[in-house]
Amino acid sequence: MFAVNTTRPTTGAGRISRVETLTLGTPWRDFSFVRISTDEGLTGVGEITHPFRPRETCLLARNMAERHLLGADPFDTEEIWLRMYQGDYMRGGDVGGIVVSGVDQALHDIQGRFLGVPVYRLIGGACRDRVRVYANGWYDGPRDIETFAAKAVKAVGVGFTALKFDPFGPGFRELERSERRLAIDLVAAVREAVGPDIDLFVEGHARFAPHEAGRIVRLLEPFDVGWFEEPLPWTDIEDYHRLRGLTSVPIAGGEHFHNRMEYKPLFDTGAVDIVQPDLCMAGGYTELRKIAAQADTRSMVLAPHNSNSPFCTTATAHLAAATTNFKILETFDALLPPYVFQALDGCLPIRDGHLPLPERPGIGVDLVDEVFEEHPPTYGFWNLFEAGWEKRDRS
């Protein structure tokens, strides 16, 4: 099982014969992809974006090809997933999790293209007619009440019915009184600006000590927020359950876990109300279906994390379409320059805060190499715990 078997009959899609990686530079972050081809002329794409380590994910993807992919049948997703995980002795970690996720997406893309159906038809079919999304990244600029309120109104004006934001600046562990007041005032201003019918989600970025998170979450209660996301570091996972007992605000999290094994303590401790696996980090379709099923046994809903490219938005729409306990999908698509969509041909458009069901075979997105060549990687970095990070200078 831990070596490529080239003697079994194949489905007709052929065997994997080539694995490439491409990275597109943008002012937001570099977007990386793995493209897998078969000897029958089929091609599939998956996203392997890491916000700070694009070289490492691309290198590991190419190394994975030599060890586990070349010669394999692209329909053997379960075995390939296990071969990459067990064969490389992975025990979690972002780079490995991202590569396994991207390869799994690309394999499903090949399968859908071979069969002539969208990926969601391969993983359960449609549970809904469209996929609801929320906006993130809309609040770039000065961290003041007027800017946040105006930008929230603008985001709602283009059709979003849900917004997420981090009002806490560079705060870590504890906030000074003035900083805490400003953060809560920003939430209050956004709520007043958009009215009672828009869902607001507050991002904690795993920043706070338990006593500070408890203080903040109680201050958030009057503003009817849909969730408080990652209020605590994941090294303090037991404290999540205690925090849930202090408040009526739902607690969300899970984006930093890379497979169902890492999710086990989250489920065992009852850490969150809403689970947020990332299709490009937590194992691809093969693994997210299992994580969603585990959440469903606990009557928990799924709100997939997505801080990556529009490719990830479209790829995750397939998962959302086929997942019964799906809630809403994150997207940063609105802050990206037009050439990103030219490089990723076929991404689904966001209209009225929703994505349509995908129609093209596979994931439905093709990489346009010429645009990648025009926009090479920047290898940039921005520090989430540095004052002014939320401005996201995209000049």
Residues annotated as part of the active site: 205, 305
Burial class (CB in 10 A: 0-12, 13-18, 19+), 51: middle
Q: Rounded CA gap, 378 and 144, in Å?
A: 29
Residue 352, CB-side half-sphere exposure with 13 Å CA sphere: 2
Residue 36, Cα to own-chain centre: how many angstroms?
Answer: 21
What values do phi and psi take at 251, rounded to 5? Answer: -105, 135
Q: Which of 289, 229, 220, 294 is nearest to 256 (CA)?
A: 229
